[in-house]
Structure 1
Amino acid sequence: MIQANSKPEKMEDGLTPTQSRDGVGEVLPQNELRRDFKPRQVFMFSIACAIGTGLVIGSGTALSRGGPASLLISYLVIGTVVFFVMTALGEMAAFLPMNKGFGGYATRIVDPAFGFATGWNYFFKYIIATPTNLTAAGLVIRYWRPDLNVGIWIAVFGFVIICINIFHVNAFGETEFWLGTIKVIVMCILILTCLVSALGGGPNHHRTGFQYWKDPGAFASYLVKDSMTGRFLGWWACMCQACFAFTGTEVVGMTFGETPNPRKNIPRAVRQTFWRISVFYILGVVVLGMAVPYDNEQLIGATKQSTSAAASPFVVAATLAGIKVFPDFINASLLVFTLSAASSDIYCSSRSLYGLAKDGQAPRIFAKTMGNGNPIWAVAFSSSFFALAFLNVSKSSASVFQYFVSLVTIFAVLNWIAILVSHISFRRALKAQNIELDSLPYVGLLQPYGSYFAIFISVLVIIFNGYDAFIPHFQADTFVLKYLGSVLFLINITFWKLYKKTKRVKALEVDMVTGRREFEETESPADHEWNESFWKKAICKLKMVKD
């Protein structure tokens, strides 16, 4: 006879007899993320998560190196890649909702070793991005108070964003919702300002239109002056910068494990990608090319700045138009951008670590959650890396730290490749198991051909992103910096494959069942009650009419 206060007996793997193993690597059922994100939060997160310093500041560097035409072409190409990445992720996430992040799909559909490398790659990306954005926030404040040490602001902002991530996921979602709203408003103001200035609506009333596409020209030369090679290198520099600008677009995919009614809300979030790319990225770089010539001395000087309003090409555009108050406005906006990015960095790294622990690829303690569904240990461990930001207080350490900062872009592109490879394997599994596309709640445009195209472009970026390490002469430090991320990814795959002796998952053996039970949750109980009540009332009215 079992006593009422006795604890369930645990088996060898730590699970109790009453606890099931529904999926690959699933652990304690009570240690699950909760689907407590509100639809409006996911909607705003999908729009604003990729709007950051890469677009507001980094686009100036690309413009000065490649010119307005190269900038536009590169953003169109990389924007198409990101669109296909998101539609690929949307197909998988809507059909098989999982709370293990991108590595979970790679483990389940491709190979556990591939999933191991993907999960840790994403974790590394965001533990590096967190201190980077905190430092950027400190430098933004320093624009107004150069007398104060950056370390003060790193500590203050770090404490705030950690608190946000410790609370219920709804607190994080609400914070990001309002910060995202501010981001959208700011970007609309910046785009409209550049457009109005280019059309002669600025204080100086100088109408430029597309004049700068003719003089100094649509294409700039980079590294090799006044030659076709130089123009090509300028375009490729824009391609690499565009990857950095689009970094974070896929971040909304990390919320899918905590999104209610995934069959309905995931496709909706993915569809917003098209409009985000079209409005904020493509339209943004078009008006920027209209308002600022790529050979402007102020723009070239701005690209040498680290981070602050002075480094933004939008500030250069406003200055050329005679608008004097814009630097302070941009600086305040950048503070919102960096703090929002730092907060989402901890969220993404903690959920990646949680997913790895769920798949047995990280210590199991990181899969434990609090009563509110927050993976507290994963959040605590991920948050601890914000202390790396204090390296930037010392100038000597800051120069070393910048090497790690530059890895973020490569980690991001590797993650895109992981999502795309998982999607292609997903489509093969559908075909092998005779699952019709009509049964999918969401089917991406031009898929799976879009995934093949996106992989091709992403692999080219990975291979040739270190071109500047060879021009004008070989630079060993730049070479190591540009390819270290790819080497780490391959080492992780090899390590896990040898350590666990994993095998590629065959199309016929892919688990296409576990998680589809989530479809039954497409409508909440309240929705079911409303529908039932609606039809009952409708039937009564029909009977009354008939009588």
Structure 2
Amino acid sequence: MTEDKIELQLEPGSENAETYEMGDAQEVNELRRDLRPSHVFMFSIACSIGTGLVIGSGQALARGGPGSALLGYVTIGSVVFSVMTALGEMAAFLPMNKGFGGYATRMVDPALGFATGWNYFFKYIIAAPTNLTAAGLVIEYWRPDLNVAIWIAVFGVIVVTVNLFNVRVFGEVEFWAGGIKVCIMIILILTCFIVAVGGGPNHHASGFGYWNSPGAFAEYLLTGPKGRLLGWWACMRQACFAFTGTEVVGMTFGEMPDPRKNVPRAVKQTFWRIFSFYILGILVLGMALPYDSSDLLSATNSSTNADASPFVVAIRNAGIKVLPDFTNASLLVFTLSAASSDIYCASRSLYGLARDRQAPAILSKTVGKGIPIFATSISAAFIALGFMNASKSSSSVFDDLVSLVTVFAALNWLAILVSHIGFRRGLARQNIAVSELPYVGFLQPYASYYALTVTTRNLSANEDQGYNAFIPHFKIDIFILSYLGILLFILNIFGWKFWKRTKRVRGSTMDLMTGRREY
């Protein structure tokens, strides 16, 4: 292998050219492309199946009914797929290892890139203790006498350790976790379907009977058409949380071999994951369980364990008694896998910010086989947020963190969509034909405009938390949780813009060449 070197400017106006070694394209302080395609495939599944689907779907069913829940999941599913196709176009054409903020910096404005990178970091440092709290609550199913904080510490050490190994170790762990999640979801969905067609011990074939009585659309907060509309909005908000993490596979693109081939493959698989797990899952759940079931209403107010899963409620009501312990053990895999990927994504967000000189340069330092050690350490430190459970109700802390994570996630989607619209504008201004793209997303760029409209509406109303802050009376704590993320995002944009005097990237001068190299 030759040791010839070339100088390559990563960004226009960069002061320091970075040196690459021909042959392995490995740079000092560069992430390693050690993730295998199979790792990326399972990682994308592991991130897209979490407690929001297995547990939170019950809240959607209870508040909106089966019709609103299905409509909400289909709507947000189409948004997420549009986000992924938008990201896939950019990542296949210009592979980057700076996270999503790197595209915002390059396609729109460095100020948006700064806000996006830090928003992703905020999202995942909150998501990590959220999932570790959920893991602790799962253990409470068997050991209610032990404080959740104990398990947050134990599991926190485990997930951080996984992230300190070579990224291939992380990929292998997520590969097996993803496989387990797939098996669990297939079992739950098939069992609920069998129950709905009368195959359970009680032999009650509900079919679509619950869509007629108590009905397909439930009322929430208000009565009449307005109540049913609020019920649908509540389902939309819960669907946002359920789909949170689907786009996380994009964080692996910087450590993926042959991104021009594997990125489109990863994006296309997103459609089948959304349809197979989310749409079919919420459909069979609405068939197997009425939304006004007292057991379901009790479950949605329960702790985060198997008792709170609407799938378990439906299966138990059918007379099957052996599933709760199995599901609870499975949820432990769900939550720990999610917490591990949260640390991974937070550290890569910090790394990308440092590479764009929007965070201290030391955060871009890597050791061993491309581990961003300082970025990972700082990300891991925020696990301590979970110890708030030691002095406050665990379920209350979990709900608060979920509200923040949902807002940050919607802002992430918004940033990707705006970046893609800027990217398409640059292609048009520089007369680069769409046919030159390694991957062209379905219905793009129209899909990005559609998804941007829906996401903006969700953020402005912020689903049930947003209007729940005002109905029936103003509640300051819910208001802060609903809009704090939006306020931080806006302040970061304008703060960085005024401090650095950044300018909007014009389509005619957009850098669409740097990084267009074959791997």
TM-score (norm 1): 0.90
Query: Does the alignment pair 1:392 with 2:380?
Result: no
Q: Is the 8 A contact 1:410 1:486 kept in 2?
A: yes
Q: Could you say which residue in structure 2 is the equivalent of 1:467?
A: 467
Q: Could you say which residue in structure 2 is the equivalent of 1:263?
A: 260
Q: Is the 8 A contact 1:27 1:358 kept in 2?
A: no
* Equivalent of residue 349 in structure 1, options 346, 350, 355: 346
Paired amino acid for 2:11: G
* Equivalent of residue 217 in structure 1, options 215, 218, 224: 215
Q: Could you say which residue in structure 2 is the equivalent of 1:30?
A: 28
Structure 1 residues 311, 402: closer, same or farther in 2, change over 3 A?
closer
Pairwise CA RMSD of aligned residues?
1.5
Q: Could you say which residue in structure 2 is the equivalent of 1:378?
A: 375
Name the stretch that deviates more: 63-72 or 470-479.
470-479
Paired amino acid for 2:73: Y
Q: Could you say which residue in structure 1 is the equivalent of 2:138?
A: 140
CA shift for structure 1 position 47:
2.4
Q: Could you say which residue in structure 2 is the equivalent of 1:424?
A: 421
Please give the secondary structure, in 2, of the residue aligned with 1:509: coil
1:495 and 1:415 mapped to 2: Cα distance? 18
2:147 and 2:492 mapped to 1: Cα distance? 38
* Equivalent of residue 88 in structure 1, options 66, 86, 100: 86
CA shift for structure 1 position 420:
0.2
1:336 and 1:463 mapped to 2: Cα distance? 34
Paired amino acid for 1:341: A
CA displacement 1:259-315 (0-9 Å, x = unmatched): 000000000000011000110000000000000000000000000013001110001
Paired amino acid for 1:83: F
Structure 1 residues 27, 353: closer, same or farther in 2, change over 3 A?
farther
Paired residues for 1:62-461 under 5 Å: 62-225=60-223, 227-395=224-392, 402-461=399-458
Paired amino acid for 1:37: L
CA displacement 1:351-398 (0-9 Å, x = unmatched): 000000000000000001113011111001101111111111212798
Q: Is the 8 A contact 1:46 1:270 kept in 2?
A: no
Name the stretch that deviates more: 296-305 or 474-483.
474-483
Q: Is the 8 A contact 1:424 1:451 kept in 2?
A: yes
What runs of 5+ residues in structure 1 fail to find an aligned partner?
1-16, 522-547
Q: Is the 8 A contact 2:137 2:394 kept in 1?
A: no
Please give the secondary structure, in 1, of the residue aligned with 2:205: coil
CA shift for structure 1 position 400:
6.5
2:397 and 2:326 mapped to 1: Cα distance? 31
Name the stretch that deviates more: 316-325 or 342-351.
316-325
CA shift for structure 1 position 334:
0.6
Name the stretch that deviates more: 323-332 or 22-31.
22-31
2:73 and 2:394 mapped to 1: Cα distance? 33
Query: Does the alignment pair 1:21 with 2:9?
Result: yes
Name the stretch that deviates more: 398-407 or 117-126.
398-407
Please give the secondary structure, in 2, of the residue aligned with 1:49: helix
Count of aligned residue pairs for this structure pair: 502
Query: Does the alignment pair 1:499 with 2:499?
Result: yes
CA shift for structure 1 position 145:
1.2
Please give the secondary structure, in 2, of the residue aligned with 1:382: helix
CA shift for structure 1 position 72:
0.3
Q: Could you say which residue in structure 2 is the equivalent of 1:512?
A: 512
TM-score (norm 2): 0.94
CA shift for structure 1 position 27:
7.1
* Equivalent of residue 51 in structure 2, options 33, 53, 57: 53
Structure 1 residues 261, 132: closer, same or farther in 2, change over 3 A?
same
Paired amino acid for 2:188: L
Paired amino acid for 2:9: R
CA shift for structure 1 position 205:
1.0
Q: Could you say which residue in structure 1 is the equivalent of 2:487?
A: 487
Structure 1 residues 306, 356: closer, same or farther in 2, change over 3 A?
same
1:484 and 1:113 mapped to 2: Cα distance? 19
Q: Percent identity?
A: 68
1:360 and 1:152 mapped to 2: Cα distance? 38
CA shift for structure 1 position 149:
2.2
